[in-house]
Structure 1
Amino acid sequence: MEEKIEKHTIAVLVDNEPGVLARVIGLFSGRGYNIESLTVAEVNNADHLSRITLVTSGTRMVVEQIKAQLDRLVPVHKVHDLTDEGPSVERELALVKVAGTGERRIEALRLADIFKAKVVDATLTSFVFELTGTTAEVDDFVGLMAQLGLVEASRTGVVAMSKGATGF
């Protein structure tokens, strides 16, 4: 029986210092693991800590290996598999540029309203929309805009945290 491939969102608390991200990425590339989404930002200025949120896929065994190897890296303080640890909130930000006039322009605005996307730039021939939502919602919006004149899209990747009062 073949093992099922699972998608996992992993949050990693690390020292905010040069080379840490390269070590994390090196762990993945050196073992042939894929990173589907990656975001990094400083979350504690006083202690110089950054949070890396990454989405990866693999069998249960591969995901457990990834977490164990991340936990052994020197600048890593904590590793949380948000997928396994219970309910969590995930969001992604996207900027989506759509060109069009006439009916296509009206339809793009109508769909943006449905998705609660905000117009952050407009010209006579294009819009730039800002959208925050789940990865699936962003995928759906970009897919619909592709039919109406998508010029380009820029996405932040997933940011996530567990629900409730507990955290890092």
Structure 2
Amino acid sequence: MKHTLSVLVQDEAGVLSRIAGLFARRGFNIESLAVGPGEQVGISRITMVVPGDEAVIEQLIKQLYKLVSVLKVQDLTLTPCVERELMLLKVNATASNRAEAIELANVFRARIVDISEETLTIEVVGDPGKMVAIVQMLNKFGIREVARTGKIVLARESGVNTEYLKSLEAKV
């Protein structure tokens, strides 16, 4: 199972390297990693997606807390959250199929951020499912390049589980 960890750390040189080293020494992969300033000056938030079962993740969290710069670790996997990711896609788009590619981008509320004689560069923001869906739809044009930020997550203070609500809507 993939787990989403949110780690608050002191913003100091080498902290990301120490965390990555911890994972590397134990032979664990980080599938997605996003780092940026947090809500307080001097504190950064690291969001990572890590594969593993409950026991493995529990051990990793204990190991993270042993690092001096780590302030707080949360496994948000089963917590109702807002998840977002940013992706840039460069796709083939000639005069004959450009309108169709732009229409598809509009369906996904994506933005065209660059255009040339042969390509479109599209900016997509959304949950990970949206990223998979738009890539599948744009594959027919030929995807030249992809750049993704990695998932960022904040717990929903309302406690509303939108994934659960989506499953109820699908049954209706």
Structures share fold, TM-score greater than 0.5: yes
Shift of 1:44: 4.3
**Separation in 2 of the partners of 1:11 and 1:50?**
10
The one of 78, 85, 103 equivalent to 1:110 is 103
1:63: which partner in 2? 57
> For residue 168 of structure 2, what is the aligned residue in structure 1?
none
Aligned with 1:157 (options 150, 153, 158) = 150
Cα distance in structure 2, aligned partners of 1:165 and 1:43 = 21
Secondary structure at the aligned position of 2:124 is classed as strand
Task: Pick one of 5, 10, 20 that aligns with 1:10.
Answer: 5
Secondary structure of the residue aligned to 1:35 is coil
Deviation at 1:60, TM superposition (A): 1.2
Would you identify which runs of 4 or more consecutive aligned residues in structure 1 move more than 2 Å? none
**Gap regions ≥5 residues in structure 1:** 1-5
Q: Aligned to 2:19, which of 24, 35, 41? A: 24
The unaligned stretches of length 5 or more in structure 2 are: 160-172
Counting only pairs closer than 5 Å after superposition, residues 1-168 of structure 1 correspond to structure 2 as: 6-44=1-39, 46=41, 48-84=42-78, 86-164=79-157
SS in 2 for 1:27: helix
Q: Is the 8 A contact 1:142 1:153 kept in 2?
A: no
Shift of 1:50: 0.5
TM-score by length of 1: 0.88
Q: Which AA in structure 2 matches 1:58?
A: G
Question: What is the identity, as a one-letter code, of the residue corresponding to 1:146?
Answer: N
In the alignment, the residues of structure 1 paired with residue 127 and residue 46 of structure 2 have an alpha-carbon distance, to the nearest angstrom, of 18
Give the residue type in structure 1 aligned to 2:21: G
User: SS of the residue aligned with 2:113?
Assistant: strand
Q: Percent identity among equivalent residues?
A: 43
Q: Please tell me whether the aligned partners of residues 3 and 49 of structure 2 are also in contact (alpha carbons under 8 angstroms).
A: yes
Q: Are the equivalent residues in 2 in contact too, given 1:101–1:125 (CA < 8 A)?
A: yes
Distance 2:28 2:36 in 1: 22
Deviations 1:123-165 (A, max 9, x none): 2321111100111211221232222121101000000010017
| Larger CA deviation: 140-149 vs 21-30 | 140-149
In the alignment, the residues of structure 2 paired with residue 97 and residue 115 of structure 1 have an alpha-carbon distance, to the nearest angstrom, of 15
